[in-house]
Structure 1
Amino acid sequence: MATILITGSSDGIGRHTAAVLAADGHRVVLHARDERRAEDAHTAVPAAAAVLIGDLASLAQTCELAGRAAAAGPFDVVIHNAGVGGGQRAPQPTEDGLERIFQVNTLAPYLLTALMPAPARLVYLTSGLEAAGRARLDDLQWQARPWDGMQAYSDSKLYDVLLAFAVARHWPGTLSNAVDPGWIRTRLGGPDATDDLPEGAETQVWLATSDEPAATVTGHYFKRRTSLTANPQAYDEQLQERFLAVCADLTGVELPG
């Protein structure tokens, strides 16, 4: 049985993923933004081993979360599930002065990856909207262009794929992949979404636990257990390196290896 950390697992896809893995006998550690959501998470998944607390919109709290996670591990699998949507009508700077969508969806998983011991498997949740993402590493904070929340969200999901592919190259001992869970009926996905929670969790569960040859690959972009072609920008190794350098500059933490 595996020991698995799932970020953003107080509701939605993350919580369902945790419930399935815990029911299968795995040691699952949840993550929530604050105490109230942590209580909700543990009530919903009582078989979970623990709930770690940390607001991913704060670099300081994300660093503290990495420390708590290291103490609660080691983990065989980390699923970077946490994320926020793009419905904001204006940029929402965090306490660090960074654009919130980018910080939560992309910079936080980078920082957790860089600070935690490398697991055997990493799964980064992205979105089909990564196909519309545009890598603008020169304007991550939306200071030089008119604000577009959905474009900011799409960009963040492209960066998640860039991160997954970059880690796959730098850490050959870790299986690092990105997953599009589909448009799932959750608080984030909304009531008009086309797919149910089980569909949104199945690929992460499979990548986390299966020893099938199709699941034990690295540097892939998956949807419904099928390896697909991601946004072409995600395969650009020079862009991957520039992205890692920007993340290291913003956080003060370089990706080991």
Structure 2
Amino acid sequence: MSLVFVTGAASGVGLLTARELIDDGHDVVIHARNPERLTGEVTEIVDKVRGVVYGDLDNVTGVETVAASANEYGAFDAVIHNAGSDNEQKTFAVNVVAPYVLSALMTRPKRIVTVSSVMHVNGSPEALPNAFATGVIDYSNSKLFVTALMMGLARHWPDVMVHSVHPGWVPTRMGGPSATDDLDLSYRTQTWLATAPESDIMPRTGGYWFHKQVQNPHSATLDPAFQDEVLHGLKEYTGVELPL
């Protein structure tokens, strides 16, 4: 049995991820923006989780609050960074900055799984300076940068299994009703990477996955220099140092 923390678990893929983990017998701590988010389908699992952590991920202070609350549960076996935004004013904060700050401030887990997107291949490394200058980027670039961040963590933290996942274009609030991929497959790679025997996962760390199959990500995410540019920039941008 594993202790797993899932961000953005009040709805959509995050809720499905948490539910699957609970059904498989794992202890789960979920994150939601505020108590008002715990309505609808999520009420079915609230009594089954180990705990709930609240906080906004669109600002560093809010992420620091989430990290402190999560640390009260001790070291997690796995952290699943599921929370995301497609609001251009928040994509950098929620999709990139929040996973960085949580990684820096939470007790280091054994595994980290981050929801990326195939749209990251449309991003451009050249957009990174503007992201740090303005705090505003589009969705594709946010997923490019967070995938590079995770690849950097996999390189700098060899004791932690770090992976990124494309869940598919699925009919959630963010994906919309026209999405064509299978919602039932959107979360299974995350739960597998978080809990499967280490020997079942190859590569052990630094993978980019779609439906349990490793894929080739944007070449920039595999470039150590670009990974470190993302890491260093996030340190300067947030004032939070991630120990490497």
Task: Confirm or deny that 1:139 pairs with 2:133.
Answer: no
Instruction: Name 1:108's counterpart in structure 2.
Output: 98
Task: Confirm or deny that 1:256 pairs with 2:237.
Answer: no
Match of 2:225 among 238, 248, 255: 238
4+ residue runs over 3 A deviation: 38-42
Gaps of 5+ in 2: none
- Cα distance between partner residues in 2 of 1:108 and 1:118: 15
User: 1:205, CA displacement in angstroms?
Assistant: 0.9
Instruction: Name 2:207's counterpart in structure 1.
Output: 220
- Cα distance between partner residues in 2 of 1:32 and 1:101: 17
Instruction: Name 1:85's counterpart in structure 2.
Output: 86
Q: Counterpart amino acid of 1:62? A: V
- Cα distance between partner residues in 2 of 1:43 and 1:6: 16
Q: TM-score, normalised by structure 1?
A: 0.89
User: 1:195, CA displacement in angstroms?
Assistant: 2.0
- Cα distance between partner residues in 2 of 1:119 and 1:202: 20
SS in 2 for 1:138: helix
Instruction: Name 1:55's counterpart in structure 2.
Output: 56
User: 1:82, CA displacement in angstroms?
Assistant: 0.2
Whether the 8 Å CA contact 1:6–1:81 is kept in 2: the answer is yes
User: 1:132, CA displacement in angstroms?
Assistant: 0.5
Q: TM-score, normalised by structure 2?
A: 0.93
Deviations 1:213-234 (A, max 9, x none): 3426101100010111000110
Instruction: Name 1:160's counterpart in structure 2.
Output: 146
RMSD between superposed Cα atoms in Å? 1.8
Instruction: Name 2:71's counterpart in structure 1.
Output: 70
Deviations 1:78-137 (A, max 9, x none): 000000115x5xxx3xxxxxxx21011110010000111111110010001011011222
Instruction: Name 2:7's counterpart in structure 1.
Output: 7
Match of 1:125 among 102, 106, 115: 115
Whether the 8 Å CA contact 1:31–1:38 is kept in 2: the answer is no
Gaps of 5+ in 1: 93-99
Whether the 8 Å CA contact 1:9–1:41 is kept in 2: the answer is no
- Cα distance between partner residues in 2 of 1:10 and 1:129: 24
